[in-house]
Chains A and B, each alone.
Chain A
Amino acid sequence: MKFDVIVVGGGPAGLVASYRLAQWGFKTLVLERGRKPGSKNLFGGRIYAHALDAIVPEYRKEGRFIERWVRKERLSFMTDRGLTTLEFENVEREENSFTAFLTSFVEWLAGKAEAAGATLVTEITVDELVRDDKGKFIGVRAGNDVVYGDVIIDAEGVNRLLLERAGIVPKLEPRFVALGIKEVIKLDKRTIEERFNLDEDEGLAWAIAGYPSRYLPGGGFIYTNRETVTLGVVIYLDQWRSIDMPVHEAVERFKLHPSILRLVKGGTLIEYGAHMTPVAGINMAPPRLYYDGLLIAGDAAGFLLHAGVIIRGVDFAVMSGALAAEAVKRAGGDYSAGSLSVYHKLLSDSFVLKELEAFREADRTLHDPRLFNDYVKFVDSFLRRYFTVDGTPRRIYGTMKEAMQQSGLSLWKILKDTVVMFRRL
């Protein structure tokens, strides 16, 4: 059996690629190991709209997966004793990002791809990318069956076992992945809007450093959906070992923090899950994104931006999937690496590689435990002293100095960190 294009992975990257290709008349096959596209993707979060606006603008009308448009962004430092929050409210009612469940989004994309003529086959795990004797990728093997395609798009997501088996990438190191654990809590719509101070259909995206990840890199996140709140913790696995606590308990504790409990009280847990997510961004990209007969897109290519707890992957996946399709079209039937190299060019011209390159160093900073410990505690100590009126004089500088001593920071350290951060972030 022969196809023009075989796409491995029915996630955002793979489905966008196949949707486009099918629209252009390519005979396209998408293979997904889950029972349904999206059944293996765990995600409750926020999707940035810009890539979708460029690629599938009709989603704004058709997309029942849009839970709430994000109008409020919060960044907090949380300690056992307090919570310091910076809140930005967009009063211009721009629609830059929305909260969603990835499963519904992916289901919608799958519907579009199939309607455009792509063949989607689920419950099939690809075991191997098949090459000919010259090393060109010519098909995929699942069990005893081999199916051939002129070009393969690998969009298998973060685990990328196929790339590993093909010798393209090494085994994933723990320091490259974080664990995301999330819960979906059902509350009624009104309650959500009251507790989070939102208008109807307005959403909140909230990142919380410090306490949720036990002052280690990572942190907590909260997103408001229509009738649910997604709440979770991201933990850097290589660092968690130093902590004497089950990973799932981190979520439990986070939820029980008085500042959070108030918000989710009375809700019902309707979903619980954990999923790996790459954190090293472009640093874990394969040596090349195109080979003879093969393109790599989405998380598998390392296209993911991890700024502490804010994970941005879907817009990169969508855009890279679309550009992989574009590259296939431009290659005009010659699917050698040379011809497919246009993919890299397209990515470099797009936000995908521009943004990811710009943040190449970020992951080193974000692996620095001090950022999540000393600074969080410093902010807490400082504000706590500053806002406590007990008759002793408190001037800003003196208070700050005391807070620095308490959290093990010095002016010099802060200065150094700031410089490094400016360089990397």
Chain B
Amino acid sequence: MSQQNICPEWPEIRREEYRGVYVYAEHDGNSLKDVSLELIGKARQLAVDLDGAEVAAIIIGGTDAMARELVETGADRVIRIVGEGLETYNPVRYSMAIAQVLDKYRPEIVLIGGTKRGRELAAYIANTLKTGITADCTELEIDKASRDLIAIRPTFGGNVLAGIRCPQRRPQMASVRPGVFPKPSRDPTRRGEVISERVDVQDGRMRLVAVERKVERDVADLPPVEKADVVVVGGRGLGSADGFHLLVELARALNGTIGASLMAVRAGWAPHTRQVGQTGKTIRPRVYIGVGVSGAVQHIVGMLESKVIIAINTDRNAPIFRYVDYGVVGDYKEIIPRLIELVKAAPKPTPTEKQPV
């Protein structure tokens, strides 16, 4: 690949020096994030298309048990970064440390879980290395001829997918949405190497001074709206905060959580963090149940990828019925209480009983 006419701010690189698929393994001190393990699994697949390249995990701190888990889920090598100033999370120091290690090992591909912290680090690392990065991918492929990574991600509100590549620069980086790849099972017979890498990042410009757990003023014991298998979403049609309490009860009975339309949030029945739609969360649960939601396009774009869509609405002409698998025309006040009874009476499924949909 020609290096002419390249921005003078970018260091010169030789593509062929870069080999291996690396994953940044995020953890919270106690355990690894699921997405990091999902990525190890994906990295193994990509490695096959790269003539059996090495799969490695980079972890800052962490425990021996975590290193073992990474090896047993598919890493050939685990690079443990240790050094002063890395005891607590710090975006600048963490990204600089990771960038230093990447610059030394020169992998061909770097994958980072699209958690909040992961996305905070990813772009800074890429910029430090002056390479390209694709955010929030939902699929990854290799173009065997060029060894280029094709990073596929939704764009324009999820209507469209784009495949993005980075032909000139290495490593090729991508952050990946949690939950899109399966978590590989552990193979206790797998062996791998664990290397400790001492890194010195003396940057004293920012310090963590306090951590608190946020207590949501809404139903704190229900999971966040983007995290549940079943999401019961209330709209303006509920008519009152009492209506929302009914939905909470249904959500509990279904082991799910609640969400809200913009209008329900405006009415003060649910916090903004539970809003689904263009200016709220994008959710893709197994089951979405919209109650008293009309189905404005701004709402729909936030839930269109749900596996099963259900709606209850008094108005048979409500646009939401265009998007449903199952729709019930009727007053939720009469239907939901009965539904709750039926759900409660039914035997709970054990996870294995759940059928794929």
Residues of A within 8 A of B317 (CB): 245-248
> Which residue on B lies nearest to A246, using beta carbons?
B317
- Does B319 touch A at the CB level, under 8 Å? yes
Measured in the bound complex, the distance between the Cα atoms of B322 and A55 in whole Å is 45
- Does B190 touch A at the CB level, under 8 Å? no
Nearest-Cβ distance from residue A423 to partner chain B, whole angstroms:
36
**CB contact list, B298-331 vs A, under 8 A:** 316-319, 321-322
Question: Of A244, A246, A247, which one neighbours B321 at CB under 8 angstroms?
Answer: A246
Residues of B within 8 A of A247 (CB): 317
Measured in the bound complex, the distance between the Cα atoms of B321 and A248 in whole Å is 11
Residues of B within 8 A of A244 (CB): 316
> Which residue on A lies nearest to B319, using beta carbons?
A248
> Which residue on A lies nearest to B318, using beta carbons?
A246
Measured in the bound complex, the distance between the Cα atoms of B321 and A245 in whole Å is 12
Measured in the bound complex, the distance between the Cα atoms of B318 and A245 in whole Å is 10
Nearest-Cβ distance from residue A97 to partner chain B, whole angstroms:
32
Residues of A within 8 A of B316 (CB): 244, 246
Most chain B beta-carbon contacts within 10 A, residue among A244, A245, A246, A248: A246
Nearest-Cβ distance from residue A391 to partner chain B, whole angstroms:
47
Nearest-Cβ distance from residue A40 to partner chain B, whole angstroms:
15
**CB contact list, A126-174 vs B, under 8 A:** none
Nearest-Cβ distance from residue A173 to partner chain B, whole angstroms:
21
Residues of B within 8 A of A248 (CB): 317, 319, 322
Q: 1/0 per position for A362-379, CB-CB distance to B under 8 A?
A: 000000000000000000
Measured in the bound complex, the distance between the Cα atoms of B316 and A328 in whole Å is 50
Nearest-Cβ distance from residue B278 to partner chain A, whole angstroms:
15
Residues of A within 8 A of B319 (CB): 246, 248
Measured in the bound complex, the distance between the Cα atoms of B316 and A62 in whole Å is 47
Measured in the bound complex, the distance between the Cα atoms of B315 and A247 in whole Å is 12
**CB contact list, A238-279 vs B, under 8 A:** 244-248
Measured in the bound complex, the distance between the Cα atoms of B315 and A244 in whole Å is 11
> Which residue on A lies nearest to B316, using beta carbons?
A246
> Which residue on B lies nearest to A248, using beta carbons?
B319
Nearest-Cβ distance from residue B353 to partner chain A, whole angstroms:
37
Residues of B within 8 A of A246 (CB): 316-319, 321-322
Nearest-Cβ distance from residue B280 to partner chain A, whole angstroms:
21
Measured in the bound complex, the distance between the Cα atoms of B315 and A245 in whole Å is 11
Measured in the bound complex, the distance between the Cα atoms of B145 and A59 in whole Å is 54
Residues of A within 8 A of B321 (CB): 246
> Which residue on B lies nearest to A247, using beta carbons?
B317
Residues of A within 8 A of B318 (CB): 246
Interface residues of A (CB under 8 A from B): 244-248
With A245-B317, A246-B321, A248-B317 given, name 9 new contacts (CB 8 A): A244-B316, A246-B316, A246-B317, A246-B318, A246-B319, A246-B322, A247-B317, A248-B319, A248-B322
7 pairs from A and B in contact (CB 8 Å cutoff): A245-B317, A246-B316, A246-B317, A246-B318, A246-B319, A246-B322, A248-B322
Interface residues of B (CB under 8 A from A): 316-319, 321-322
